[in-house]
Amino acid sequence: MKYYVEIGDRTFEVEIGPEGVKLDGQPVEADLKANHGSHLWHLVLDGRSHTLRARRRDGRGDWELEVDGRRHRVVALDERSRAIRELTGTVAVSQGPLEVTAPMPGLVIKVEVVEDEQVGRGQGLIVIEAMKMENELKATSAGRVAEVRVAPGQAVDKGETLLVIEPVSAGG
């Protein structure tokens, strides 16, 4: 199983399988054991021993980890959860025009905006059916819909651009 673990501004790819654990594609020695009767865990990573305390935060996959007395906010998602989170628009936005892309193959169920429409952060843009679930892609920032490239009933591939949003200028 593959996981994506975000700590600060870094994302690590962790793969756990029958052949062991890989961190960003490189094999690592890892062992994690619960310390029964407490909220502590014992982690051995590449021969180094660590005390770990994990506490769930508000969001799914959102954790607060304390490792050897240092606290970290961590988001850990499996491949499916990460794809769904991207599909529903809970990802970071870059500067400049934003191309809203399909994070996985699917079927466009509904286009909720038109070209030249002003959209606000969190506003629904497109409903896509993927993995037998309907998911709404939402605007991650305010802007103007510059281009709509899909229509309801259209099948889309992973990475295909669905629409383009131009950011609102600083002056208004």
In the chain the domains, ranked by start, together with CATH numbers, are 2-79 (3.30.700.30), 91-167 (2.40.50.100)
Is pLDDT at 54 greater than 60 in this prediction?
A: yes
- Label each residue of 57-73 as H, E or C: CCCCCEEEEEECCEEEE
Whole-angstrom Cα distance, residue 50 to residue 69?
10
Position 92 scores a pLDDT of 44
Answer whether 0.95 is exceeded by the pTM: no
- Tokens at 110, concatenated: 């509904």
Please name every residue paired with 164 in a beta bridge, in sequence order, or none if there are none.
Answer: 99, 147
Report CA dihedral (137, 143, 149, 155) to the nearest 10 degrees.
0
β-bridge mates for residue 40, sequence order: 53
Closest CA to 86 of 72, 74, 104: 104
Confidence of residue 146 (pLDDT cuts 50, 70, 90): very high
Q: What is the DSSP string of 78-130?
A: EHHHHHHHHHTT-S---SS-EEEE-SS-EEEEEE---TT-EE-TT-EEEEEEE
CB count, 10 Å around CB of 130? Answer: 18
Question: For 80-104, what is each residue's pLDDT tens digit?
Answer: 777 766 665 544 444 568 888 887 8
CB 73 within 8 A of CB 131: no
CB 162 within 8 A of CB 156: yes
